[in-house]
Every structure is written in C-alpha cells, then in structure tokens.
Amino acid sequence: MSYRKGSKVWVEEKGEGWLEAEVVDAKERAVVVLTSQRKKISVLPEKLLPRDTDEDLGGGHVDDMTKLTYLNEPGVLYNLKRRYALNEIYTYTGSILIAVNPFTRLPHLYNEYMMEQYKGVRLGDLSPHVFAVADASYRAMVNDSRSQSILVSGESGAGKTETTKLIMRYLTYVGGRAVLDDRSVEQQVLESNPLLEAFGNAKTIRNDNSSRFGKFVEIQFDKTGRISGAAIRTYLLERSRVVQINDPERNFHCFYQLCASGKDAELYKLGHASTFHYLNQSKTYELEGTNNEDEYWKTKRAMDIVGISRSDQDAIFRTLAAILHLGNIEFSPGKESDSSKIKDSTSNFHLQMTATLLMCDPDLLVSSLCSRSIHTNEGIIIKALDCAAAVANRDTLAKTVYARLFDWLVENINKSIGQDVDSKAQIGVLDIYGFESFKHNSFEQFCINFANEKLQQHFNEHVFKMEQEEYKSEKINWSYIEFIDNQDMLDLIEKKPIGIIALLDEACMFPKSTHVTFATKMFRNLSSHPRLEKTKFSETDFSISHYAGKVTYQTDSFLEKNRDYIVAEHCNLLSSSRCPLLSGLFTSLPEESVRSSYKFSSVASRFKQQLQALMETLSSTEPHYVRCVKPNSVNRPQLFENQSVLHQLRCGGVLEAVRISLAGYPTRRTYAEFVDRFGVLVPELMLGSYDERALTESVLEKMKLDNFQLGRTKVFLRAGQIAILDVRRAEVLDNAARRIQGRFRTFIARKEFVKTKEASISVQAYCRGCFARKMYKIMRETAAAIILQKHVRRLIVQRNYQEACSAALLIQSCIRGFIARRYFSTIREQKAALVIQSFWRKRKVAMLFQHYKRATIAIQCAWRQKLARKELRKLRMTANEAGALREAKNKLEKKLDDLTLRLTLERRIRAAGEETKLVEISKRDKIIETLSAECAAAKSSARSEHDKNLLLQRQLDDSLGEIAMLRSNKILKAEEEKQNSNLKNIVKSLSEKNSLLENELSTARKSSDDTMEKLKDVEGKCTHLQQNLVKLQEKLTNLENENHVLRNKAFNISPKTVSEKFSASIGLPNSEQKHIFETPTPTKHLAPIPHSTGTRRQKLPVERHEGNHEILSRCIKENLGFKDGKPVAACIIYKCLLHWRAFESERTAIFDHVIEAINDVLKAKEADGRLPYWLSNTSALLCLLQKNLRSNGFFGTPSHRSNGSLGLGGRTGQVRNPACQLFSLSLVGRGDTLAQVDARYPAILFKQQLTACVEKIFGQLRDNLKKEISPLLSVCIQAPKSTRAQPGKASKSPGAGAQQPSNSHWDNIVNFLNLLMDTLRENYVPSFFIRKLITQLFSFINIQLFNSLLLRRECCTFSNGEYVKAGLSLLEKWITDVTEEFAGTSWHELNYIRQAVGFLVIHQKRKKTLEEISQDLCPSLSIRQIYRICSMYWDDKYNTQGISNEVVSAMREMVNKDTANLVSNSFLLDDDLSIPFSTEDLSMAIPATDYADVELPECLHLHPSVQFLLKVS
C-alpha cells in the first residue's frame, strides 16, 4: 500500500522486534520514517505495516485482539504490552485466551467472589479471564452434552501449571458436590497437583517449577453437571533428569524435599543434598521463597488426601532415598579386563543402604550392576561390565525405578479418585510443554516439538473452524479459504517407513548403530524434504523448519534416550524385593524376554502412540485454548521483553491464527463501530436517523471497494481494505483540518488586524496629546519668563536704592561714632583713675577681711569636717549612687561661685566710680552740667543694666535649678529608657510567646473542635449503645423468661417431640434447634410439683376446638384484605386465638397449624405476588402478640419473677394490673396452679415461629426483587448506541451538562420502583419494612452497577459515565419524591457508583493528582478500585487523555505494596444477605394495631366457629 507523510506505521527492528514510527517523507521506492526513538530510517514500503491512528485513544488497548483495526504482528505485541503494564494479564484473540505471567501475586483476580461473577456469563461480556474460558467450557458441556477440552500451552515459566490449577479450581467450584466422606473427588483432583509437581516438576533455566511431563486431567461430570470422577494421564516424563542435570537447574523436587525432611531423612541415612551425586551436579539446592521441609509435609498431606496409605508412602520415600544412595555408588576396574567392582568403603556403604531401602539382596544388587547375563542354547553366559558400562547400568536402574514409581503414582491417584464409567461428558485440561528451542536441543526437545506440531495442526483446524462458524452465523457468502498446513512436517517426523522416528527405531534395533549411521541414513532418505536441512559445521546435526521457526538438533544422545531397555537383571532384582510396592512395579518377565538381557522398547514410538490417542481424545471434544506467555527471562514483574514475547506468540500459534484470519476476512466491525469510524466519509447521510447497515454499504460503495461482505451484525473486509478506508478517512480529516485551520487563521489574522488598528489609533491619540502638551509647556514657560523679568528688574532697582540709603546712613553713623568714642575715651580715663584708687582702698580692707575669713573658715571646716565624716559613713552608699550627680553639682557650684565673684567685683567697681564722680563733681561742675543729660542717661542705663543683672541672677538661679532638675530627669529618663528597652525586649519575647500561644490556641481550638465533634459522635454512639443496651437488657429479660418457661416445659415434655415440632414448623434443620431444649434445668429454680388426688386437671378450651383449624385455614388461604390499613386476616386470627384461649394450652398444635398453613401459601406458585400481603399480616400478628404479652405482664423482670413466683407449685404473689389480676383470679378459681407458666410457653413458641416466618418472607421478597431488577441493571450499565457521542456531534462545550437517557432502560427501573412502592402501599406494609427493603435494594443496585463497571471495559467511558449519571439523577429524584420515611438512606447506598461515575465524567483528568482523586473525588473507593477504573477508562466522546502516567504508576506501586497486607484483595463489592432488623426493632418501629374495630368478613359469617365475633360486634 502507499504511505503518505504523517502516516503511522510499524517498522521492524532487531532489538525491540517492532517500533512505532511516523512517515516523514514518502518517495517512490523508499519511505523515510521517524521512530519512537527519534531516529530517521529509510525503508522499503513492503517492510512497513500500518498502525492505527486512533490507538492512543480509548486507553490504547483492546481486550479482544480481533477488535484491532490492523490485525498484524506488532499490533498484537504492543496490545499485550500495554495491557501488561496495567496488570491486565488476560487478553482474548477471538475465543483464544492469552495469559501473560505477572510474576507477582494478584489474589483479587482469583477469589471466590470473582468466580461467582464469571459464573454463567457469556464469553466476552466481562473482562478476559481464565475463569471465563473455564465457564464457557462448562456451560457448553452442560448445554450441548458434549465433552470439552481446555488446552494450556506455553514455554517453561509462562504459568501453565498455575493456569491449569485455576481452571481445575473453577471447575470444582461450579461442579463441586457435597462432601460425603473425608476426601471428595474435587478435593483429590486439586490435591493431586502438588503431588505430581513434587515428582514431575523441577527447576530449569527459565522456570523454578517447570513441569517435566505432559499432563491431561479428565474431569468427569454426571447428568446434573456435578463432578463424578476424574482421571489423569501423563506423557513423556523426562527420565534422564534423574541421573543428569546441568547447572543451575535442579533434579525433581521430591529429592530435595526428602533430604530436608529432618527425622525422616535421618531414618533413611540422608544428609544434605550436596552429598549426593544425582543432586550435586548443580550447585542450586534451594529455591527462593520455598522451604523444602514445608513442601515435604505438603506432599505427604497430598498423599493422604488422594488416598495413599502410610505404608505405601513409606515405600515411596524409601525408594527415593535408595535412588539417591544408588547414585553415590562408584566403580573401579576389577581384576579381569573389562570388569568392574565397588570402588571403596563409601560406595559399599551406599550399596548396603540401597539394598536395605529396596529390601533386596546386596550381592544380587552388585551382580545386577557389574554384570549382565546372556541366555543361549548352551546355557547362561555371564558377562562382566567395565566401569563406564556399570555406571550406565546404574543410571538405567535409577531411571527405570523412578519412571515406574511415577507411573504407579499416577495410576494410584486415578484409582483413589475413581472414574465414572457412566459419565456422558467430560472436561479435559491439557497442561503440556510448549515449543522449545535452545542452543543445544536433544531428543526431549525433538519429542516436545513433535507434540506441539500435532497440537498446532489441531489448533489451526479449530481456528479455521471458528472462522467458518462466524461466517455462517453472520450469513455471508464465503468460499473455502486455504491456510498453511503442517501435515508435511508431521509426515517428516512420523510417516512410515522413512520418517525420522521410524529411522530412529530402526537404528536402535541394531546394537552397533551410532548416531552417525542414523544421521547418514536420515540424510540419504530425506535430503529432498523442504523442512529438513543439514547443518554446515556438523555431519550429524540436522535442522527442522517448524511452524515456530527453525530448530537445530544434536543427535549425539538420540539413540541412547530412545532406547528403553528392559534389563532382566533389574527386573529379577526388584521383583524379588520384600517391599510389596517395588515387587509390584517389577513383575517377572515372560519366558521369551528372559533369554535377552536387554529388551528394546522405543520411547519415540510409545510417545507417538500416546500422542495419537491424545489427539483422538481432543478431536472428540470441543477445544478451548489458553496460551501462556512469559514476559521476560528474569522472572521479574512489570518487565516486557518484545523479542521473547514475539517468539512465544509464534511458538504458541497465536500469530498463526492471525495468518489464518488474514487469509479470510481479518477485519470485522459491527455496523455501529464502522459508522463511528468511517461515517465522516459520507457526512450527507449522517444527518437525522439512518440505518447503520445501509450507511455502511453506502460508504463501501462510495469508496469503490469490492472485497467485503455484509453480515447480520458485522461488516467483513479483506486484508488491506481497512487501510484504504483509513487513507481516505485521513484525507477527509486532513481536508477538514485544513478548512478549520484556514478559518482559524482568518479569524486570527482579522483579530490581529483589529488589534493593530486599535493600537495605531491609540498611538496617534497619544502622539497628538504629547504635541499639545509640549506646545502648552512652551507657552507657559514664555509667560513665566516675562513675569520673572519684571520681578527681577524691580528687585535690582530696589536693591540699588537700598544700597545708596544704607551707605549714607553708614557714613553718618561712623562720624557720630568717632565723636562719641573720642568723648568716651576721655571719660574712660577718668573712670579708670577712680577705679584704681577705689581698688587699692578695697584691696587693703579685703586683705584684712580675708585674713579673718580664712581663720573663721578653718574653724568652720574643721567642725564641718568632723560632722561630715559622721555623715560620710551614712552617705557613702548613697554617694556612690549619686556620684555623677554630685560632680555635675560641684561644677555648677563652681560656675555659680565665679559668677557671684564677678558680680561683687562689678558692684565694687561701680561704687568706686560713684565715689570718684562725687569728688570730681566739685572740680568739674561745668563738665557735669554739660554732660548731666548724658550722665543721667548713663545712670539710667546703668540702673537698667543693674536691673538686668539682677534679672539675670534670678534667671541663673532658676536655670541652675532647672539644670539640676533636668540632670535628675535625664538620669531618670536614662533609667526609664533602660527599663523601656528591657520592657521592649520583654514585650517582644511576650509577643513571640503570644504568637506561639495563639498558634497553639488555634490548633487547640481546632483539636478541641475535632474532639468536640468526636465527643458528639461518641455521645451519639454512647446514647445509641445505651439504647441498644436497654434493648438488649429487655431482650435478655425476655429470653430469660422464655428460657425459664422452656426449661419448665422441658421438665415435663420430651425434648425430642418439641424440637421436632418446632423445627418442622419453622423449616430449619434439627441440628439448629437441638440446643434450645438440651439445656439442663437448674434445680434451684424448680420446686417439687405437688400432686393432689382430689383434684383433676381440667382440659383447656382449645381441646374442644380442634375443628377450628378450618376457619384459620380459610383466613390464611383467602385474601381478606385490609380495613383502615389494618390486616383483617391477622386481626381475625389473633381474636380467635385469644377467644379460644390458645395461649393457655399446653399443646402447640393450633400454632403449628397456623405456621404450616402460612408456609404452604408461601410455597404456592402465585406466592411471589402475595409476599407483601403476608409480610404485612405476619408482622402485624407478631406485633399484636408481642405487645399483648408485654402489656399483660407475661414478660417481667427477673427480680419481679423471683419475688412473685414461688416455684412450679407456688402461686402469684403480686399482680401488676387489674387485667392480670382478673386473669390470675380466674385461674386460681379454677384450681390450676400451673396455668400462668403454661400460658407463657405457647405464646413464646408462637412468637419465635412468627419471627422466623417474617424474616423468611422479607428475605424471599428481597431476593425476588433482586432477581427481577438484575436484567434491568445489566442493560442500564452501558449506554445504548443511540445515546453515545457520534463523530462530529459532540456537545459544543466540554462543560455541557450530562445527557439525558434517550431510552427507557432507566425509566424501566423507575417504573419498577414505582410499581414496587404501589404494591407495598396497597398491602399496607409498614414503612419500617419498606425503608429496610428499599435500602437493601439500592445497595444491590450500587453493587451490581459498580461491579459491572469494573468488569466491563466498554462501560468505563466518558459517554457511558454521562449516561449512568443521568440515570442516577432519575433515581435521586425518585428517592426525593418518596420521602425519607420510605427511602431512608438509599441515596447514600449509591456512594460507590456515584463517585465512580463522577470520576468518569470530569474533564482534564491529567491534571488531577492522586490526593485529589482519592480524597476529594472518590473518598469511598479503595486505591485498587480507582486503579482498576483508571486502567480501563477511555474517552469515547472528546478523545482526550486519561489519568497521567505518573498517577497511574503511583497507584500501581501502592496496589502492589498493599497486595500482601490485605486479607481480601478483591476490588469488587459483596452483596449483603443479612436480615436488617430484630424482633425488638419491629415492636418499637411498628405502631400498635387496634384490632377491636376490625369486623368479620361476610364470607365467614356462616362459619360456626366465629359466631362469637358477630355477637361481640
């Protein structure tokens, strides 16, 4: 086909097999592709395969590979890889199941609930599973009465054995029977697996538990589909492994288990496995995760279950120990040439142990190992064997003993299980080795591959047959389709007389033949066969082209492994054994066999016969195929090796099935799927309603395709046709994309133009504004300059005037100052003289004054010093604190002294000046007169100055005081600042503490709020528990009363009789009721019964009313209806029983009759329609009985009973109410001392019977509703095709609301619920029962919808989520309409499905984190359930991506971690089958019924037994 740029393709690559790629350039002869590894490769178009363009949508995988758009090799490979990454290990290919080994535990896939989910479900309806295949085979066997077979194949380590176990486990689950003895058939079949694994499985390079034999388990069933028998057949046990193993492989498991068995190993003189030659050829003795000793005891337990006696078990393990000792026997050359003998004492010890364990003669054992006898006509010739021949003889004996022991074990298992010869149908499970191709391939690989060739031929025929059946079911015209057959391959191997097996047998018959002669003859006869090739570097090796590839075989050991000699000495040795098991394995040979020491038997021919018988068995059955795949060679989970899986798919025939499909119509799509994908090719026909088949035909005709067929439901296309449609679809989508892009670009360009235009207008407006602002600024600056110039000129003129004025004034002042200074200097000189005179006079007086003053001061200082010293001691402490203040004070005092001194000097100078003025006044009168004015002025100035000095003195004193105060204030302020800083630090620390305390307070408040809420919850629970405790105390009181009454009754009545009546009336098995009457009666509560000869017990009235059963039967069988909401039948029955004093009778026949009549009505065909009627009647009758018993004091507290009762013979000492008093007086008047006790017993018994009856009716009604609603739910979980999103027709906005259902499926459920409510209300069922019933019904709806969502991938889609969400909204509306009185908590019961559907319909799932999903969106769902939904989800509406890979990986890790910790790992929900109420709940919830106003129906008026009711009315 032609590829264009952008096409998605697959390109072949050596390392990965196939790589995803995209075409980047398409040339004429080559195509350039870009791989997923970002490499560009140029390849031929023929080497490319097309890839689906929409594969990333819908999760990127399909559960059935026939749904792949391109059914090719890489599509199959990568589909398996994507599913394996999501732990989806099962995938269908049509009816073939492919199982990929997860190499981890997935217990949630295999529990009993999962088996129940797949029970009876059609193959393909649920997710792929091995249980689905097993169920399909079982249903086909039951329905068609034809035997089935399940073929499990795969390479070593792929999980064949585990898959076989699961199939057998499921078959025993659906076809199991009740265990009649200690060992049922199904249990023995299951337990045979570990037993056969111990003796037939071993560790290989690829698998720790590889089956080294083929096994076909045939499970037989009877006509009812129950297991009736079983048989096990085995094929080609690898006997050579007993004597030869390679490192790191192991021998069969049983040898290592026996060596680790402890005391049993010591009993057989066994040590560690490394001490035995048959085991120490490999250094691997232990398996990871497996304890050999535990496995040993499991093997012994399996032997017990399958019926092997302890003596036979001992013989089996002795034989195994003997084989190990036999392998340690070594030989050395004997005295004669070509002879041998036991090498040393160690070998002799092992020889003796072997003889002891085999219970045979040691000498005979040595003789059989070191020599052989030849019978001739002259006599017997004994020929000695050399060391090599003796070793080979020893190994032959070991292999023969083990092989026969294994065959005996299988035969004994079959005998123990037992076969059903009358069985008409069987299911066979074939667990056989897969195709093997190693570096060195020997005879075992040749036989295994031969078996796989035969099975592949059968597989091809089956696949071709299934193809033809599908063509026939779709009613299309088809012709015979040729497919590659491998008959020529089988002829090469098994055809006589020149097949490989025939030539090998012929070579084995001649003693002197070697592998060289065999190979030469084979090449000579078969050289022309196209499947056989001769290798280049070996003359004896040959290659065969199998269906799975070419395999090269080495013929070195072909002849030895094909010869199965029957050595006469070995048979004689072991037939003479004293061990019955061994002697039975080796019976004496016939006469003609004894003549030859070695009797040849061909292993290949015997295997061919077994294989032919197996193929005949398989041909007579309908086959089912399970192909197991090993994802990697290191047995690690989540590792997928492409090349290895691709090789296994080829070997398993899966790709061969693909080729067969490609030969016919490989592409098949339902019409709806075809229209969804290719409807875009004819958009003109997609408008409105259309016929999908006609539309499909129109599309194909428009594309001018011829190689197609239209079936009933599907369209079939030849190979390559889907690619043509995809190319045309891609062109249409490309054209549409171009158109959309053109429109979008136009929109963007116009948007950019409008945006640019608006921007230019804005720029122009801004520029104009800037220009206008600039012009305004210039004009403003010009006006400002003119104003500035005016003011500057004014200032200059003003300044010049002021300078001239000030110059004139300065000159005048200078002249005047000069004159005044000259005059003042004269006066100053005069004053100076006067000052000097006055100073001298003052000096003389002052010196004298100073002398007296010093003496006085000295005396004063001495005295003051004396006083100061006294005060010094007192003030020293305070002086230290006020030191700085004192210094400042001293300085201020010094300054004050200086100022005082200056003031006195100035005063004295002034006084002297005045004196000189007075002396010279007389001399200078004239001068004084002229200067009198000036002198007066000077005097006035001096006075003013003096006044100023005085004022300054006062101010100085005030300032000194203020300074002192300021000093003290400053000190105080400094201290306050220090304190303030300290306080600030304290406040800061306190604020920090306050913030911490506020945080703690907020957290404490939150915690207190939480604790308050918890306390409220606890208080609510406590009150609820107290209420329950009160109820339980009342119930305990009632039960004690009942128990006391029943014990008293049991004292007089046979427990057997009462228990039989009671069990028969309720319908329970006797084993459940025996404990009621087997409790011994305490003697302290019982007093001797006094017997009076003078009084006779009068018969109770009920004995005179045995004919009243008829009226009760009519009341029960006929529908008497209701009156004012009260059930008539219950009221009439209760009135009759009360009138007939049935509660006073010792016999319970009338109660048994009532219960039996109700049970008979419920067993009738039309009983389902009357269940609500009888639920209403029985519950009303039970409540009447319960409330009447309580109101009449029949149930009292234990203390009241102990005080009021004096034993069986005592009378009532205290009466609670008048009614009871009258009743007790009437009893006493009749002289019946036991009446009250006897009156309690039938009422208690009848109440128990009614309780069981109510629970039975409720459960039956609930189960019937579940059965009726199940088909409606099965069609509601998946949206009909008409409501799904069509291409190009999705809603315009992703946020559009959920679509409304366009069909009536959900309406049917709502109608069903409405009909149910109408029925329950018509029958006046109490709201308590309706609420419980609706709640359990909605819980069942939640479980069914949620489980279906998790099991069906087509349901986990966006459009289906919208559909289910719209349906749930209808249920929510219905719940709201019926009110909480009847619906209860039904809406909360839908939590799981509501959250799951809400998760499906949210947008932008890739942005959601794991916390948001698990805590906000789906808080009720577990991580396993969320992971299941995420792995199955795909968006079929908007084709968007799902959850991000990081979130999915995180969920997968959490699921894997939690797998080992969970008890139940199932992601499905379990149904609740319990009864959600008790008798006390009924009495408290259902209101009391007033039966007094219920009248007798007219149909019963003529009956004589109820005339008392007419009289009363």
* Active-site residue set: 156-157, 161, 207, 210-211, 434, 436
Closest CA to 916 of 831, 990, 819, 1018: 831
Beta strand pairing call for 598-599 and 566-567: antiparallel
Tokens of 74: 């890489």
Helix (H, G, I), strand (E, B) or coil at 271: coil
Helix (H) or strand (E) holding 42: strand 40-43
Q: Tell me the CA distances in angstroms from 1236 to 103, 542, 633, one per residue in order.
A: 72, 102, 83
- Between CA 807 and CA 817, with CA 812 as vertex, the angle to 5 degrees is 120
The C-alpha atoms of residue 59 and residue 572 are separated, in whole angstroms, by: 68
Residue 822 CB burial class (10 angstroms; 0-12, 13-18, ≥19): exposed
User: What one-letter code names the amino acid at 1478?
Assistant: S
- Residue-level length of the chain: 1513
Beta partners for 334?
none
Strand intervals (E) in 549-593: 549-553, 566-567
CB 468 within 8 A of CB 478: yes
Closest CA to 1497 of 1486, 1489, 1488, 1506: 1506
Tokens of 317: 């393990």
Closest CA to 339 of 396, 382, 395: 382
CB 644 within 8 A of CB 630: yes
The C-alpha atoms of residue 1204 and residue 1221 are separated, in whole angstroms, by: 13
CB 615 within 8 A of CB 458: yes
User: Residues with Cβ < 8 Å from 1422, sequence gap 6 or more?
Assistant: 1467
The C-alpha atoms of residue 977 and residue 985 are separated, in whole angstroms, by: 12
The C-alpha atoms of residue 500 and residue 515 are separated, in whole angstroms, by: 13
Radius of gyration in angstroms for the set of CA atoms belonging to the chain, rounded to a whole number: 57
The C-alpha atoms of residue 224 and residue 218 are separated, in whole angstroms, by: 17
Tokens of 449: 């591959």
Beta strand pairing call for 148-153 and 425-431: parallel
- Between CA 706 and CA 714, with CA 711 as vertex, the angle to 5 degrees is 95
The C-alpha atoms of residue 769 and residue 766 are separated, in whole angstroms, by: 5
Helix (H, G, I), strand (E, B) or coil at 56: coil
The C-alpha atoms of residue 934 and residue 646 are separated, in whole angstroms, by: 139
User: Residues with Cβ < 8 Å from 631, sequence gap 6 or more?
Assistant: 84, 100, 101, 103, 639, 640, 641, 644, 645
DSSP 689-756: ---HHHHHHHHHHHTT--SEEE-SSEEEE-TTHHHHHHHHHHHHHHHHHHHHHHHHHHHHHHHHHHHH
Tokens 């000492």 belong to residue: 1213
The C-alpha atoms of residue 1171 and residue 1159 are separated, in whole angstroms, by: 11
Start-to-end CA span in the chain (Å)? 97
CB 1465 within 8 A of CB 87: no
Tokens of 452: 């796989």
Beta strand pairing call for 8-13 and 17-26: antiparallel
